[in-house]
Homo-oligomer: A and B are copies of this chain.
Amino acid sequence: MENRFSPGRALSVDQVPQWDQETDVAIVGFGAAGSCAAIEALDAGMDVEVFEVASSHGGSAWWSGGEVYVGGNGGTSVQKEHGFEDQTDDFRTYLTMAGGPAADSERIELYAQNGVEHFEWLKSQGVTFKGTYLPGKWIEPTTDDTLIWSGNEKAWPFSAKAKPAPRGHTVQFKGWGGGKLLMDTLCEKAVALGANVHYSHRALCLVVDDSGAVRGLVVRGDGQEKFVKARKGVILAAGGFICNQDMVKRFVPEALACQQQVTGGNDDGAGIRMGISVGACTLNMQEFFATLPFFPPESLVKGIFINERGQRFINEDTYHGRVAHYVLRQPNGKVWLLVDNEIFGRPMLQPNIEIAAVGETWGEVEEQLGLEPGSLTTTVDEFNRHAAQEQDPYFHKAAEWLKPLTTPPFAALSYCAGDFEGHAFTLGGLATRPTGEVLNADGDAIPGLYAAGRTACGLPRWGEGYSSGLSLGDSTFFGRQAGMSAAKA
């Protein structure tokens, strides 16, 4: 019975036996994008039905750190209070660099102009931010502070083009996992405004008419299939596809190098597949967030990564996700982090990392790793010589992370393929206008269909340019856009 419907195959409206439910706006997924889309559609006076496959709200965002990447317009209230000026020009430049070769200038412009407003909007929905600033380099704060450096802002080449400012704004939550608080607040707000949420309801496929317009969807819940008519439109906010092994293999096989999936468990790509079924075009399906958090302790950032040729390949003070992408593409998957006794520490988030070599001289380390004589030592000598002058002419690591690696014993931590635990989620998705309309291959909007969050290809679309908080910032902001657009349809 269930095989009658599949996300990759749309149902013709002529084959709908009856409409079991009717609404203005139907939303698939009740996570960051879906909840914010619901709030805006409800604010515009729409009837909203939400279909969530899980038995509770929040999606993958519920499991996140609850951090939102915003800035510009001179700065948010928190940025300003702590003395960080953040002009829109710098925010735009940073986001453009972070978007990579296929950065979407229109989407970036909308976000750069309205990031501060969006932060205020989140607060007005009841999301609480303590307003404090936490210095240092964090994967995710364990305190309940607000403002952190969460991306590549202070690292070359970003720092050379855009004035750095911290832009990670984390909800007021002690310990890891502020996403719970963020999503509880947003989802409860949507419900309070009148969202009719159906949990444990799986969206099976979209319904289209002869003109190609989306008219509704088929869902399965309460043991039956239901045909849902959406007068204004359907919003796909069903997350990415990191849980779908078949899709990962087809579209983003390089992510298979990361064992850990960053997900609430339902990123099965059904939203993306439903979009494709009605002629939507996808973008950047090969891109993914990856990280192998090689710090804390922070001191490890002062180490240097080398490949099997003894070559460095990255400024180690860039965002850990950017470092990961460079590590993943080194020849034969061979990479080591070189440290001396002064900066050594066990990687707190990678407790199983092996020490591949230890020596009283770098020559011993080189020999133990089986590297070409002189390859590692030349690189370390050159690095040390420059670091002593607080310089890194080749990779432009910032001075605060430069220190000659001259205190024995010396060690090489293995980040060779298979030796670390990578974490990944997908960044590719449906092509959309910044306002949420899903686009076909000619770049025209498909009537009645909207998408946001990781179901769409949004601001975070390039693994090398990711910053913590970018996905939540994008999902909440562009979820709102999709909700407003559907309401206006």
A residues near B, CB below 8 A?
Answer: 6-10, 12, 14-15, 101-102, 210-212, 246, 249-251, 253-254, 269, 272-273, 276-286, 309, 311, 372, 374-375, 378, 382, 393-395, 431, 440-444
A376 shortest CB reach to chain B, Å? 12
Pairs across A and B, CB under 8 Å, 7 listed: A8-B440, A9-B279, A246-B443, A269-B441, A272-B441, A276-B280, A279-B279
Q: Determine if A442 and B253 form an interchain contact, defined as CB atoms under 8 angstroms apart.
A: no
* A210 touches which of B14, B249, B394 (Cβ 8 Å): B14
A301 shortest CB reach to chain B, Å? 20
Which residues does chain B contribute within 8 Å of A280, judged by CB atoms? 276
**A147 vs B283: C-alpha distance when bound (angstroms):** 39
Closest 10 pairs (CB-CB, A-B): A8-B442, A273-B441, A8-B441, A12-B210, A8-B440, A276-B441, A101-B253, A309-B394, A277-B279, A372-B393
A369 shortest CB reach to chain B, Å? 14
Q: Determine if B286 and A281 form an interchain contact, defined as CB atoms under 8 angstroms apart.
A: no
Q: Say whether, besides A276-B440, A374-B382, A250 and B102 are in contact (CB < 8 Å).
A: yes
Q: Say whether, besides A14-B210, A210-B12, A309-B394, A441 and B277 are in contact (CB < 8 Å).
A: yes
Q: Determine if B7 and A441 form an interchain contact, defined as CB atoms under 8 angstroms apart.
A: yes
Q: Determine if A276 and B272 form an interchain contact, defined as CB atoms under 8 angstroms apart.
A: no
A85 shortest CB reach to chain B, Å? 28
Q: Nearest B residue to A210 by beta-carbon distance?
A: B12
Q: Determine if A212 and B10 form an interchain contact, defined as CB atoms under 8 angstroms apart.
A: yes
**A14 vs B208: C-alpha distance when bound (angstroms):** 14
Q: Nearest B residue to A102 by beta-carbon distance?
A: B253
Q: Say whether, besides A273-B441, A372-B394, A442-B273, A279 and B210 are in contact (CB < 8 Å).
A: no
A380 shortest CB reach to chain B, Å? 13
Q: Determine if A442 and B6 form an interchain contact, defined as CB atoms under 8 angstroms apart.
A: yes
Which residues does chain B contribute within 8 Å of A382, judged by CB atoms? 374, 378
A424 shortest CB reach to chain B, Å? 14
A306 shortest CB reach to chain B, Å? 12
Q: Determine if B101 and A440 form an interchain contact, defined as CB atoms under 8 angstroms apart.
A: no
Which residues does chain B contribute within 8 Å of A212, judged by CB atoms? 9-10, 12
User: Assuming A7-B442, A9-B212, A273-B442, what are 18 further A-B pairs, CB within 8 angstroms?
Assistant: A7-B441, A8-B440, A8-B441, A12-B210, A12-B212, A15-B210, A102-B251, A250-B431, A251-B283, A269-B441, A273-B440, A273-B441, A276-B281, A282-B282, A286-B286, A309-B395, A311-B311, A372-B393
Which residues does chain B contribute within 8 Å of A250, judged by CB atoms? 102, 281, 283, 431, 443
**A284 vs B284: C-alpha distance when bound (angstroms):** 9
A39 shortest CB reach to chain B, Å? 29
Which residues does chain B contribute within 8 Å of A8, judged by CB atoms? 279, 281, 440-444
Q: Nearest B residue to A272 by beta-carbon distance?
A: B441
**A279 vs B212: C-alpha distance when bound (angstroms):** 11
| Residue of A12, A211, A431 with most chain B CB atoms under a 10 A cut-off | A12
Q: Determine if A440 and B277 form an interchain contact, defined as CB atoms under 8 angstroms apart.
A: yes
**A328 vs B273: C-alpha distance when bound (angstroms):** 33
Which residues does chain B contribute within 8 Å of A285, judged by CB atoms? 282, 285
* A378 touches which of B278, B281, B378 (Cβ 8 Å): B378
**A394 vs B212: C-alpha distance when bound (angstroms):** 56
**A249 vs B431: C-alpha distance when bound (angstroms):** 13
Which residues does chain B contribute within 8 Å of A246, judged by CB atoms? 443
Which residues does chain B contribute within 8 Å of A251, judged by CB atoms? 102, 283
